Structure formats: C-alpha cells, structure tokens
Amino acid sequence: MKIIRTVEEMKEFSKKIKESGKPIGFVPTMGYLHEGHLSLVRKAKEENNTVVTSIFVNPTQFAPTEDLDQYPRDEKGDSAKLKKEGVAAIFIPTINEIYPVDYQTYVEVTELTKNLCGRSRPTHFRGVTTIVLKLFKIVNPDRAYFGKKDYQQFRVIEKMCRDLNFDVKIVPCPIVREKDGVAMSSRNKHLTEKERRDTIILHQSLEKGKEIILNGERNSSKIIQTMKNMIGSKKTLKKIDYVSIVDLYTLKDLHYVDRNILIAVAVYFGKVRLIDNIEVIIDAKNNA
C-alpha cells in the first residue's frame, strides 16, 4: 500500500491505473477510521480493482468556531486498518498542498445546502463540495463511496456531479451503528461516558418517528414533537439543533408525510454535535 502526500504523485498513480483500463474506487475521509468508514472501503473493494482512500481534515468545511483543532487524528492506526482492507493507496496531503496561500476558488450547490445542517453551518457544504471536487480531479475515480450517515452531504455531492457533468458514480452506503444503535462517528470519542449513554436516544427517537409514520401519522409537527420530547428527556442534552422531516431528494421541509422522507436530527451532547437520520419509505414505487 502506497502512502501518497503530493497532488502530483497522486495524479501519476491514478493515471497509471487508468491506463491499465481498471476502475478506481475512491473513499474520501477525514481519518480516525472506524467500521463505518471501513464499510465504504469494503464496498469499494467489491466493485473496483483499485481502491484509493484519502485522509484530509478539510479546514474549509469548518467554521472558525468549530472543532477543527480538536478533530481526532491517528494516521498510523488508520494506515494499518486500510492496509488490512487491501487499499492500494492512501492520499494524505498537507493543507498547503490542497490550499496554497493564494487559493481562491470554491464550488457551491445552492439549494440542497440551505436546509438541515446548512442552516447552522452556512459555509460547511461549500467547503465539502470544494474539497470533493478537488479530490475527484486529483484521484480521477470511476466510483466514489459516501455514507448515508451524512445524508445531506451525499445528496449535495450527487447533485454537484450531475450539475457539473462529472462521470464519477456516487455510491451511497448504509449507516453503520454500534450495538446499541448509536451511529459510528469519529466525534463520539469526545463524549463523556454519561453523554455517550444518552446519545442512544437519537436512534431510538428516529425509530419511533418511523414507527409512528408507518402506523399512519402524517402530521410532521406531531412526529417531530414526539421525537423532541424523547431527546429532551436526556440530562446531558445541551441543545437540539434540528429535528426535521424532509423530502428524500430535495431535502425541503414537509408539513405532511405524503411521500418518501428522511427524518434527520442534529443535537449537541455537551460540546459534541451529533447527526443521525432514517429514511422512511411509504411509497416503494417512487424510491428511485
């Protein structure tokens, strides 16, 4: 397994693979890898001869007040895990390699980024789309793998590729959870024991929301209120950023559940902001 740190070397590596006519599967990450990340790597390995993973804690997707400096890192541990999965190369560039001092170009998906996390993190998705577009240009993959844990991110990247006529196939992958249902996240490491125990309520409330809908409730505010009451019962909860019921594709709020939807939550436990979601399919025919 190669560890590549420069754009030039990464492009050269990909060029050689492409010349051999074999597909490249790409898994972009910010590192501190867990089973969620590795599930994407395994899916990529199933579908592509060569898998490239990137590890880059992208500063442009963090606001100045956010946890860029505290973001956990473990290059050695990550490399060992990826080697075991049969990854061909890890791209680990420095910040300066990606954003030289005179850097000034950004790409933005305008509508899909307005709701959910875009409300409280208005510059976040601009950073995400910019880095993903740059990584796609550098790595030149045939397929790229994204977790539905970051559902809005997956939809935004899918849209960017469609709008900009990129040929990369975006492959969404299911959320990987701990035994108790908590979605795996690098940020879980920052939770105290008590906070970690309380976070179980996120998945439980999402399952409850889904259950209520499948039992016939269609009024979004009633469903959201039930979920907020559940989450609000936890002592270590600091703040609910949002509990939203949105169209699965446009991610716009829905007052009534009259189609396939996503229930999405963002919540602070202590200083840690966690997100989670669940798809609710009421119309299987329209589940494209």
* Buried b or exposed e, range 210-235, using 16+ CB within 10 angstroms: bebbeeeeeebeebbeebbebbeebe
Alpha helix (H) residue ranges in the chain: 7-19, 35-47, 75-84, 95-98, 117-120, 124-139, 151-163, 193-198, 200-214, 220-232
Q: Nearer Cβ to ligand AMP, position 23 or 72? A: 72
Residue 127 binding ligand AMP, by CB under 6 A: no
Write down the least CB distance from residue 151 to ligand AMP, Å.
8
| Per-residue binder mask for ligand AMP (CB under 6 A), 138-167, x = binder | --------xx-xx-----------------
Shortest Cβ 222–ligand AMP spacing (Å): 29
- What's the rounded Cα separation, in Å, for the pair 185 and 284? 29
In whole angstroms, the minimum distance from the beta carbon of 145 to ligand AMP comes to 7
Determine the interface stretch with ligand AMP among 175-183, 194-202, 228-236, 269-277 (rule: CB under 6 A). Answer: 175-183
- What end-to-end distance do the CA atoms of the chain give, in Å? 37
Per-residue binding letters, 16-55, with ligand AMP (x by CB under 6 A) = -------------xx-----xx-xx---------------
Residues with Cβ within 8 Å of 229's Cβ and at least 6 positions away in sequence, in order, are none
Which is closer to ligand AMP, CB of 150 or CB of 198?
150
Sheet holding 261-269, edge to edge: 237-247, 261-269, 272-280
* Integer CA distances (angstroms), 236 to 194, 198, 233, 270, in order: 7, 7, 9, 6
Least Cβ distance, residue 29 to ligand AMP (angstroms): 4
Among 44, 132, 184, 261, binds ligand AMP (CB under 6 A): 184
Q: What residues are annotated to the active site?
A: 37
Task: Write out the residues near ligand AMP by the rule CB under 6 A.
Answer: 29-30, 36-37, 39-40, 146-147, 149-150, 173, 175-176, 183-186
